[in-house]
Amino acid sequence: MTNIAFIGLGNMGGPMAANLVKAGHTVTGFDLSPASCDQARNDGASIAASTVDAVKDADIVVTMLPAGKHVLSVWADILPSVKDGALLIDCSTVDVESARKAHVMAREQERDLASLDAPVSGGVGGAKGATLTFMAGGARQAFDRAEPILSKMGKKVVHCGEAGAGQAAKICNNMILGISMIGVAEAFVLAEKLGLSHQALFDVASTSSGQCWSLTTYCPVPGPVPASPANNGYKPGFAAALMLKDLKLAQEAALTSGASTPLGAEAAQLYALFNNAGHEGDDFSGIINFIRGQRA
């Protein structure tokens, strides 16, 4: 049993903290939203009066917050109050620069603190079902300490490298996802114009070189994959707003690192248009309707 502080009990953090309670850990949580705190209390966590109160007895601190600025501000508040030798794990999706800065802030305390960036893939369903994939960046010893805890919230935990490598893996993966979803959507829209049925394209491409997750798990047209959001009015799933966030993070990283990512840039632009047209809350696979409308 480990004393764990969990800060950020939203759509992802709430069920992740609940899984740590289920695994027998003592979880002390904090969130700015009273409703999230109530839910976490119902799930068996104690709720602290502040971030600082939440962390003071914790061996491990997990943060699951909206963006880099929230993580840096919360870490700046809590670092002076965490126990010597504590391990801090940020599971939020943030820019690589902020992730690296958080590691430096922890090291600068000179109190033997360990830190990891460990963003996740798998969405709210994965958070609830403890089937997330964690991609971690930081020292090997920090990873070895974190692994037994992370594995209570996920089914796969990968050490990607040094500080920031987890966030780098996350945005590279999600750039593939955004681009591939647009590719699959365009193929279905072209098939419609050519008089080819959705099922026929699916049957061929899902067993041919066009095969990918966006097609076989998250098929953007209703029918071929019954569990995909297309069969449920494009309810998320993975919201278009979050896809846009991740594509923008990939573009920021491409700019600062000098990488050429022309399709990533195009995908970010298309998702920005889709979001601005009022589809932030739709599943990201709904972009097929936008593409169909634009080309009609």
List active site positions.
170
Strand partners, 179: none
What character string, x for contact with ligand NAD (CB under 6 A) and - otherwise, covers 179-208? ------------------------------
Judged by CB, which is closer to ligand NAD: 28, or 92? 92
What residues contact 90, with CB distance under 8 A and at least 6 apart? 62, 63, 65, 71, 75, 99, 102, 115, 116, 117, 118, 119
- Cα dihedral 52→127→148→112 (10° resolution): -30
Query: Residue 47 belongs to what H/E stretch?
Result: strand 46-47
Per the CB < 8 A criterion, the answer to whether 145 and 114 are in contact is: yes
Q: Which is nearer to ligand NAD, 189 or 249 (CB)?
A: 249
Is 12 one of the binding residues for ligand NAD (CB under 6 A)? yes
13 part of the interface to ligand NAD, by CB under 6 A: yes
Task: State the Cα–Cα distance between residues 266 and 206, nearest whole angstrom.
Answer: 25
75 binds ligand NAD (CB under 6 A): no
Q: Which is nearer to ligand NAD, 167 or 205 (CB)?
A: 167
36 binds ligand NAD (CB under 6 A): yes
The answer to whether 214 touches 221, Cβ cutoff 8 Å, is no
Rule CB under 6 A: which of 245-264 touch ligand NAD? 245
Nearer to ligand NAD, 122 or 224 (CB): 122
CB 208 → ligand NAD: shortest distance, Å?
Answer: 30
Note the residues at the interface with ligand NAD (CB under 6 A). 7-13, 30-33, 36, 51, 64-66, 70, 74, 92-93, 120, 123-124, 238, 242, 245
